Structure 1
């Protein structure tokens, strides 16, 4: 698991550069706030704002990222004011907090910007509870947030704009639906229900640190789309928290809040959060937990009992999230996974279409962007299938089928990348055999995504076998046809899919 987090492939070293930039951006933001003479609580708030801006703002273009970053205070400041003003009115405060949860999750229907603004609003309310902020401190907190966002923005959009050199492909939009069929709408109610349970039980466990349970329930719902994904994420969050608490007892407590070593370790935690986020939620949560312990050390309140309480509240939040996705408007793993697989296959279809057009002589056709889109969709398929391929999953038959589907989709992606490279080669253009093979790929995808056409998909393998493909260019298409034909077996082995009932 550790090897996967830190030795996972990093094409273009994007994760490495993003993590290093985050350390510089957050460090610069905290330094600016500190040099301004603001108190420690303001520095922590500013550092959190900078981290969130760098972590959650994920619009597809730099200009949209700038706008979203500028909008963060528009959402965050009113929430900060409400949370501080209601500090002495627990019942009203709790009701408003749940309203913030509902609005924050519902906002995800508007894509990356809605997601970033929703998270920022929630975390501003959370930070107010963490710091026990009162209205008199609001001007200082506002100043810290503005300075930190400006400092982080200067690093991200000025000094080290990775996205301007290599623009990231836009993430796949949410699955289309309406009303309660929309995943984001269901999650808004699920997250509110989960946070309500976590809030009630968390306050029974501790009337001072109850917000940890709410924070756990909230973050478990981020970037999940089904019941299985949420349950797996809750498990991984608990594991990461346990590991982080153990490390905190060995590292954070002995430091006694010493400024320099604590700052160095917090910087390492920021790097780990950004570097591992895309590949291991467990290790990301480990880094978050260690960082939280170090921050409590700076505040002078860290001890073993506090870390044990954090573990208990994490368990409360994870149980609340689990109950919510099981009993309230559940989105089954099958429903989500089947839709993502179909979208990935249609993207393969689009890649073949673009490649065929390019090979036929069209200069405007370009399969490259479709290949990038396919990579994102396959990442979403892997996330959706995570519950079935998890080592603790008791559904052995479905686990094997899910692994088979993932392996064949990876084969498709590999062959599509090769096909795109061939189509870009002017020497390979105008080859009728290549164009014909592309049309057969389209037919195979159509068979897989259209009910009742499984035989056509299996027939693609026969068609490929009847046309020996010896040239490297044609070999990619042969491999793609074979992978699509093989996919017909697990995808059509039951009335719905291999993931039925998951």
Structure 2
């Protein structure tokens, strides 16, 4: 997990900040004399606020964080009120699932609020909370959010120094053609199936099956992504349970070492979330075992039950995405690849305008957007390159697309760096090269009819930056031309050698 690149040590700083924020939340709850379940709830609220709030500006992050209790506390109250009424509790839980996924259509804020509401309902099942505990739980949630916000927006505001670009919005549409609507239906049915089977296995710990189904649907956009994510969740859980048997069970809930190990798990969750879902689930599973130890209910049979419930939740997701409003991997992949190629086109145009002397052009902003779209395209292609994928032709095609998109991104980054050179001068050959790149993108993307502003014409000037820019544009054109083969043929046809 430490082999993955961490430019600017951003993941490291975010992970350390998360440990400090969650520790501050738990310390506030403990110093206030709240119960252990309340302290755990406060720590969970802080962790969720730091983990799920991903708006592109600090101001929007602060607003979203302030809105978390508006959605979370009513759900927390509803879940505790229905504690002794299982049928109504189950219906309410599924309603929260549907609304939480449906809210993703409103971008990062909708996703954060939906996750927080779901986890508040989940936490009451985990802690077996009853109405009498509600005041303490409310206080703990508010303390947790306040403590984590003090760290995030005050003591250590990483985003103010390096603001992240806005995440690419999911594809639009209306009705069941909209991705978030289809996923809301799929996730609700998956969680309903997981709930029914999970309760037949255990009346007390069924919620792990529902939690598994819910989290598998987070940040996925196709049948293939969901299946791969389910597989990785099971792998991470199995390894985490094995570690829990060796670490959490022997501790018997000893407070000091358990607190240290929980802090390590919080760090691991944040540090590995982006590069490896399996590693993240490993740390989540170990942390859950440690918390069960603090609550005095941990034993090997409980960890085995956790594995069973995880398998149930993953299987429910497989059934839901395969049988209910399926979103094919090919369709999702094609949408993200086309958006990435359009961004390559815009990046090239911005860089050319900057090299031509237009100081208002900003290729750096486009490059940041390209990085996010490229990451999303790679995620959508990941199921096709997975070792368990039996279709060799599709696997080879996906690998070629990833390699060529990576090369395009490399050339665009280099071009943007050259455009930042104040001494770089325009050459008419640059205009012609940019037009060839635009034509190559138009050949690949159906929605490329938008005309881009042309760089102003100028007399030829010789400058080393111009020659290097022309070289990058030539390689970019070559990569785009080569993309025509894997993108233009049938997904299951073998590539021409």
TM over 0.5: yes
Q: Aligned in 2, Cα 1:153/1:257: closer, same or farther, shift over 3 Å?
A: same
CA deviations on 1:242-278 (whole Å, 9 max, x unpaired) are 0000000000000010111111110010001000000
* Aligned residue in 1 for 2:103: 107
User: Which of the residues 111, 116, 129 maps onto 1:133?
Assistant: 129
Distance 1:440 1:429 in 2: 20
1:148 is matched with which residue?
144
1:191 matched to 2:164? no
Out of 231, 255, 258, the position equivalent to 2:251 is 255
In 2, Cα distance between equivalents of 1:426 and 1:452: 31
Number of the residue aligned with 2:487: 491
Match of 2:282 among 275, 281, 286: 286
Give 2:93's aligned residue.
97
The residue matched to 2:2 in structure 1 has which SS?
helix
- Structure-1 separation of matches of 2:75 and 2:428: 62
Secondary structure, aligned partner of 2:78? helix
Q: Find the partner of 1:18 among 14, 17, 22.
A: 14
Partner SS, residue 365 of structure 1: coil
Aligned match of 2:307: 311
Whether 1:360 aligns to 2:360 is no
CA distance in 2, matches of 1:69, 1:339: 31
Cα displacement string for residues 37-90 of structure 1 (whole angstroms, at most 9, x for unaligned residues): 101000000000000000000011101110110111110111111110111111
Does the aligned pair in 1 maintain the 2:199–2:206 contact within 8 Å?
yes
Matches within 5 A, 1:41-60: 41-60=37-56
Once residues 209 and 172 of structure 2 are traced to their aligned partners in structure 1, the CA distance between those partners, rounded to angstroms, is 31
Aligned ranges 1:326-475 → 2 under 5 Å: 326-450=322-446, 471-475=467-471
**Alignment match of 1:481 (pick from 477, 480, 486):** 477
Is the CA contact (8 Å cut-off) linking 1:492 and 1:498 kept in structure 2?
no
Find the aligned partners of 2:137 and 2:88 in 1 and give their Cα distance: 22
Shift of 1:357: 1.4
**Where in structure 1 are there 5+ consecutive unaligned residues?**
454-468
Q: 2:173 aligned with 1:158, yes or no? A: no
Contact kept? 1:269, 1:290, Cα under 8 Å: yes
Q: Secondary structure at the match of 2:436?
A: helix
Whether contact under 8 Å (1:352, 1:439) holds in the other structure is no
Corresponding position of 1:172: 168
Match of 2:115 among 98, 116, 119: 119
Is 1:224–1:230's contact at 8 Å kept on the other side of the alignment? yes
* TM-score after normalising by structure 2: 0.94
Structure 1 84/199 Cα, relative in aligned 2: closer, same or farther at 3 Å?
Answer: same
> How has the CA–CA distance of structure 1 residues 55 and 259 changed in structure 2, closer, same or farther, with 3 Å as cutoff?
same
The question of whether the paired residues in 2 share the 8 Å contact of 1:355 and 1:438 is answered with no
Tell me the residue number matched to 1:277: 273
Q: Distance in 2 between matches of 1:433 and 1:137?
A: 72
In the TM superposition, residue 12 of structure 1 has moved relative to its aligned partner by 1.2
Alpha-carbon distance in structure 1 between the residues aligned to 2:159 and 2:236: 30
- CA distance in 2 between counterparts of 1:63 and 1:452 reads 34
User: TM-score of the superposition, structure 1-length normalised?
Assistant: 0.94
- Contact 1:347/1:374 (CA < 8 Å) preserved in 2? yes
For 2:460, the equivalent position in structure 1 comes to none
Pair 290,439 (structure 1): closer, same or farther in 2 beyond 3 Å? same
In structure 2, runs of 5+ residues without a counterpart are 450-464
Partners of 1:490 and 1:498 within 8 A in 2: no
